[in-house]
């Protein structure tokens, strides 16, 4: 990659006996979004902490804009923004004060940090709430402010650690729109997430990690094509179930159905396959009671890749 903005080469990180990152390598191209996907405890946050100079590296190399994070952390910090999953903003202060505080700590002159705070409040739809204490903010507003705080010094690189975890669907969509806008403006983004849908929406490239190792990488489409599988499941009268199975076998591989009167098939591509399935069922004269399409989820991807479920993995990496 000629234009790699973030380069991670065989990075290892140990906390005592616990290996959080076990030889991770990936690159992020300038102006693109990389989604770091994995269950809790996979090492996503550790990777972000290393790249943002919060944690020292145990072995390997990592650089941001060609700057080695271990050798020149000050220079890295001048060029990155971090928004975390815990929405690290001061609860007691107002939105405006929080942004001014970050502005001052980034050494913007006083009037400029004030102007920048106004600009960001406006951009993130928080102007009216700017003088309210964060205690009165909703989860979505808090995340927007957290993201705004990461942008105060106009960093070309942005790290988003599970930016929408725990948010309601509406706030999640808002945040996705904002992130897309930033990318359109040329920001390079590294995003960690537990949601395949989020990576799918935002990321140009996805790196899947588990137990501190990269287990797959590619675009969302590539990964889904390779790993997950779309299931089509139809519910039919019990008497017709064998005939339905026969009809659908021509469309995709028959899989385990969720219900007793269901027939499920695994297909590569949902759109054309649904039409083919409906045609086959119609031609066989089956009375379809219900039809459902289930897209591959992170859990499917994980099951496929690792043999264990993403949700079951709750072990936290000690900090």
Partner 1 sequence: MIPTTVDQATLSREARVHPGSVVGDALTMTWRNLLRLTRNPELIVFSTVQPIIFVLMFRYVFGGAINVGGGIPYVDFLMAGVWVQSVTFGALNTGVGLAEDLQSGLIERFRSLPMARSAVLVGRTTADLVRNVFVVIVMTAVGFMVGFNYHTSALALVGALAIVLLFSYALSWLSALLGLLAPNAETAQAAFFPIVAVLVFASAAFVPVKTMPGWLQAFANHQPVTAVINAVRVLTLGGPTAGKVVSALLWIAAIIAVFAPLSIRRYRKVA
Binding site for partner 1 (CB under 8 A): 3, 5, 30-31, 49, 52-55, 65-67, 72, 74-75, 77-78, 80-82, 84, 86-93, 97, 101-102, 104-107, 133, 149, 153, 156, 159, 186, 188, 319
Long-range contacts of residues 314-318, Cβ cutoff 8 Å, at least 24 apart? 314/39, 314/40, 314/41, 315/40, 315/41, 316/40, 316/41, 317/15, 317/18, 317/20, 317/41, 317/43, 317/45, 317/46, 318/15, 318/16, 318/18
CA distances from 239 to 67, 170, 287 (A): 67, 43, 10
Alpha helices by DSSP H, 64-94: 73-77
User: CA 114 to CA 127: how far, in whole Å?
Assistant: 13
Q: In angstroms, what is the minimal distance from the CB of 269 to partner 1?
A: 37
Q: In angstroms, what is the minimal distance from the CB of 168 to partner 1?
A: 21
Nearer to partner 1, 149 or 301 (CB): 149
Q: In angstroms, what is the minimal distance from the CB of 125 to partner 1?
A: 21
Q: In angstroms, what is the minimal distance from the CB of 290 to partner 1?
A: 45
Q: In angstroms, what is the minimal distance from the CB of 95 to partner 1?
A: 13
Nearer to partner 1, 64 or 196 (CB): 64
Least Cα distance to 193 among 221, 172, 218, 170 occurs for 172
Q: Please report which helix (H) or strand (E) contains residue 119, including its range.
A: helix 110-123
Nearer to partner 1, 2 or 260 (CB): 2
For residue 137, how many C-alpha atoms fall within 13 Å in the half-sphere facing its CB?
A: 30
User: CA 68 to CA 60: how far, in whole Å?
Assistant: 11
Nearer to partner 1, 68 or 313 (CB): 68
Q: In angstroms, what is the minimal distance from the CB of 4 to partner 1?
A: 8
Nearer to partner 1, 98 or 240 (CB): 98
Q: Is 240 helix (H, G, I), strand (E, B) or coil?
A: helix
Nearer to partner 1, 153 or 224 (CB): 153
Q: In angstroms, what is the minimal distance from the CB of 169 to partner 1?
A: 24
Within a 10 A sphere around the Cβ of 316, how many other Cβ atoms? 8
Nearer to partner 1, 54 or 215 (CB): 54
């Amino acid at each position: 990659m000629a234009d790699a903005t973030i380069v991670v080469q065989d990075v290892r990180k140990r906390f005592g006996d616990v290996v959080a990152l076990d030889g991770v390598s990936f690159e992020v191209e300038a102006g693109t979004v990389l989604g770091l996907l994995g269950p809790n405890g996979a090492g996503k946050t550790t990777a972000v902490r290393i790249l943002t100079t919060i944690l020292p590296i145990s072995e390997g190399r990592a650089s941001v804009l060609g700057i080695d994070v271990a050798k020149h952390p000050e220079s890295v910090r001048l060029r990155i923004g971090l928004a975390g999953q815990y929405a690290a903003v001061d609860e007691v202060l107002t939105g405006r004060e929080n942004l001014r505080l970050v502005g001052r700590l980034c050494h913007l002159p006083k009037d400029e940090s004030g102007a920048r705070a106004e600009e960001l409040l406006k951009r993130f739809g928080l102007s009216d709430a700017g003088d309210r204490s964060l205690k009165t903010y909703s989860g979505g507003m808090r995340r927007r402010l957290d993201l705004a705080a990461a942008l105060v010094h106009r960093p070309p690189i942005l790290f988003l650690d599970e930016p929408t975890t725990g948010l309601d669907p509406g706030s999640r969509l808002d945040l996705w729109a904002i992130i897309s806008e930033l990318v359109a403006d040329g920001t390079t983004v590294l995003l960690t997430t537990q949601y395949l849908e989020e990576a799918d929406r935002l990321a140009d490239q996805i790196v899947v990690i588990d137990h501190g190792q990269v287990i797959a990488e590619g675009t969302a489409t590539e990964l889904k094509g390779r790993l997950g599988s779309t299931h089509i499941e139809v519910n039919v009268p019990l008497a017709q179930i064998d005939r339905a199975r026969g009809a659908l076998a021509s469309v995709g591989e028959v899989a385990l159905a969720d219900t007793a009167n269901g027939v499920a098939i695994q297909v590569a591509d949902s759109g054309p396959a649904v039409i083919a399935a409906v045609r086959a069922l119609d031609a066989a004269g089956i009375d379809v009671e219900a039809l459902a399409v289930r897209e591959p989820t992170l859990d499917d991807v994980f099951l496929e890749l690792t043999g264990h479920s993403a949700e079951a993995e709750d072990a936290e990496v000690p900090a």
